[in-house]
Amino acid sequence: MWNLLIGGVVDLATSHFKNKSDEKKAVHERKMKQISNETDWEKIQAQNAGSSLKDEWFVALLSVPLIGAFLPEFRPYIEDGFMCLRAMPEYYKVWLSAAIASSFGLRGLAKWKR
């Protein structure tokens, strides 16, 4: 009788530890697949960037207010432009930030919160 009882407890414990091991293995495999997908995304972005002028366009666009800030005759226009951008809907600012972050391959920047 003791053998039957002990055997049942051992079987139960063995089953529990096997299930825990399988769960940890599944979590690990899911993380590895996510890393693989992120790496694939970065490779695709790098390939697409080679034939796109989007990066250069954003650099030029972002440089205009930087350069204009040093030219007194342009400062009022730059300040007005930023005031206008500040009044834009939040979703527009998020989309714009995501587009710029994507263009430069900065996926983490798209998650940035102000």
30 shares a domain with 71: no
Residues 14 and 60 in one domain: no
Instruction: Assess whether 94 and 108 both reside in one domain.
Output: yes
Write out the residue range of the structural domain in which residue 19 sits.
1-51
* Same-domain pairing of 28 and 58: no
* Residue 56 scores a pLDDT above 90: no
Co-location of 35 and 91 in the same domain: no
Q: Taking residues 81-108, what's their average pLDDT? A: 84
Shared-domain flag, residues 17 and 39? yes
Confidence at residue 2, expressed as pLDDT on a 0 to 100 scale: 57
pLDDT at 111: 56
Other residues' Cβ atoms within 10 Å of the Cβ of residue 75? 13
Q: What percent of the chain has pLDDT over 70?
A: 66
Q: What is the dihedral of CA 69, 87, 102, 70, to 10 degrees?
A: 0
Co-location of 84 and 107 in the same domain: yes
What's the structural domain count of the chain? 2
With cut-offs at 50, 70 and 90, classify the pLDDT of residue 23.
confident
Same domain membership, residue 45 and residue 71: no
* Mean pLDDT, range 33-40, rounded to an integer: 68
Position 59, amino acid: V
Q: What is the pLDDT of the chain when averaged over all its residues?
A: 78
Asked whether the predicted pLDDT for residue 108 surpasses 70, the reply is no
Determine the pLDDT at residue 80: 95
Residues 70 and 45 in one domain: no
110 and 59 inside one domain? yes
SS3 labels along the chain: CHHHHHHHHHHHHHHHHHHHHHHHHHHHHHHHHHHHHHHHHHHHHHHHHCCCCHHHHHHHHHHHHHHHCCCCCCHHHHHHHHHHHHHCCHHHHHHHHHHHHHHCCCHHHHHCCC
